[in-house]
Amino acid sequence: MAEAEATRIMAEATRIMVGVNQSTIKGYPHASISSRGAFEWTLQKIVRSNTSGFKLLFLHVQVPDEDGFDDMDSIFASPDDFKRMERRDKARGLHLLEYFVNRCHEVGISCEAWIRKGDPKEVICHEVKRVQPDLLVVGSRGLGPFQRVFVGTVSEFCAKHAECPVITIKRRADEAPQDPVDD
Amino acid sequence: MAEAEATRIMAEATRIMVGVNQSTIKGYPHASISSRGAFEWTLQKIVRSNTSGFKLLFLHVQVPDEDGFDDMDSIFASPDDFKRMERRDKARGLHLLEYFVNRCHEVGISCEAWIRKGDPKEVICHEVKRVQPDLLVVGSRGLGPFQRVFVGTVSEFCAKHAECPVITIKRRADEAPQDPVDD
């Protein structure tokens, strides 16, 4: 590579997309354990003190069985009830992104965050294609093959299909909740 | 995490293990295209200007069908002939490591490099367990499923089994040689 080209590339920040989701643990506030783990790992091990060299792009994909986990308690009697639900889901997604954007602000690293709806693994790969980050970081619960059959793994799909390098950060064993399928 | 703990971690360099191998192209000098790609990507996108924040650990695993690709031309008549072959293989391995260590010296990043013998995928995972890097980077030819059946992929195995986060860097399409199985 010519030196001028190398300098130009160095001048542009490394853009790291981080897939984030909410905790599945009822009453547990905000980001999932593995999302937070993946984010903090990225800060500590990759970004380090070089905050101007990186930009973080947070993507949250909203999916019915994740964001509507307590729908069992709701009664729908009018079209407005559905709108209210939608607003609540949206508020939750915003709350999640706010957590990560605030952390970036504290650390002094530039970032962007947005929400999409759909199947997380498909949407993440689609957004990678659209946004073309240098790197995708996703957290993983680090489940065994038996557990994976039932819950699927977004990280495995992305590692295979995303059109950029992918790092999967497994949740630390000492951070796993009582039921390892929770996160 | 307590602030003192975070500071202590920041003070230690992020240790990135890079699996490197020789080119399979006869007459092609030294490092494989995908090894060089993975290394240069790591410098440009992760290390950037923060050379004191990282340490690179180069592991080359010597395997008979890779390092002895021109054994067809050799005639063995005495035990010494075999010793000579071994020395030659070792010299090739050293030459490979020298390339990466020299590049690190130019860039000003600290490094270590060593050679092991055996099945690359098994040995890499074993060395990850022993050395405990923060991250493993491996290059990949980015072959399709049909080609993979015949050549196997070290990167897929490591991504699944290595006990640390793994980044697989696919070879750029414009760098692929005429036969994509070559590297």
Q: Which of residues 15-74 of B touch A (CB under 8 A)?
A: 40-41, 44-46, 48-50, 53
| Average pLDDT of the residues in A13-35 | 85
What was the pLDDT predicted at B164? 94
What was the pLDDT predicted at A67? 47
ipTM: 0.80
With a cut of 60, say whether residue B115 has pLDDT above it.
Answer: yes
Assign A149 a pLDDT band (cuts: 50, 70, 90).
low
Which class is domain A46-118? alpha beta
What was the pLDDT predicted at A93? 83
What was the pLDDT predicted at B172? 80
With a cut of 70, say whether residue A146 has pLDDT above it.
Answer: no
Mutation target for B interface from A167, A168, A172: give the one with most B CBs within 10 A. Answer: A167
Q: pLDDT tens across B4-53, in order?
A: 665 655 679 999 999 999 888 766 558 999 999 999 999 999 999 999 99
| Average pLDDT of the residues in A34-50 | 95
| Exposure on the CB side of residue A169, measured as CA atoms within 13 A | 26
Buried b (16+ CB within 10 A) or exposed e, B95-117: ebbebbbebbeeeebebebebbe
Give dist(CA B168, CA A164) in Å, integer: 9
- Closest residue to B10, CB basis, from A14, A49, A53: A49
| Average pLDDT of the residues in A134-142 | 90
User: Which residue bears the tokens 């080119």?
Assistant: B23
Assign A9 a pLDDT band (cuts: 50, 70, 90).
low
Q: Is the CB of residue A107 less than 8 Å away from at least one CB of chain B?
A: no
What was the pLDDT predicted at A62? 87
Q: pLDDT tens across B47-59, in order?
A: 999 999 999 999 9
Q: How many CB pairs under 8 A join A and B?
A: 54
What was the pLDDT predicted at B91? 78
What was the pLDDT predicted at B146? 61
With a cut of 80, say whether residue A140 has pLDDT above it.
Answer: yes
Mutation target for A interface from B5, B46, B164, B174: give the one with most A CBs within 10 A. Answer: B46
> Could you tell me if B38 and B46 are in contact, meaning their C-beta atoms sit under 8 angstroms apart?
no
Domain boundaries, chain A: 46-118
Q: Is the CB of residue A168 less than 8 Å away from at least one CB of chain B?
A: yes
DSSP, collapsed to helix, strand or coil, labels residue B144 as: coil
Assign A147 a pLDDT band (cuts: 50, 70, 90).
low
Q: pLDDT tens across B144-182, in order?
A: 666 555 555 888 889 888 999 999 898 887 878 877 778
Q: pLDDT tens across B137-146, in order?
A: 999 887 666 6
With a cut of 50, say whether residue A30 has pLDDT above it.
Answer: yes
Which residues in chain B are contacts of A140 at CB distance < 8 A?
none
| Average pLDDT of the residues in A173-180 | 79
With a cut of 90, say whether residue A165 has pLDDT above it.
Answer: yes
Give dist(CA B15, CA B12) in Å, integer: 9
What string of H, E and C letters represents the secondary structure of chain A? CCHHHHHHHHHCCEEEEEEECECCCCCCCCECHHHHHHHHHHHHHHHCCCHHHEEEEEEEEECHHHHCCCHHHCCCCCHHHHHHHHHHHHHHHHHHHHHHHHHHHHHCCEEEEEEEECCHHHHHHHHHHHHCCCEEEEEECCCCHHHHHHHCCHHHHHHHHCCCCEEEEECCHHHCCCCCCCC
Give dist(CA A45, CA B54) in Å, integer: 9
Mean pLDDT of chain A: 83
What was the pLDDT predicted at B67? 47
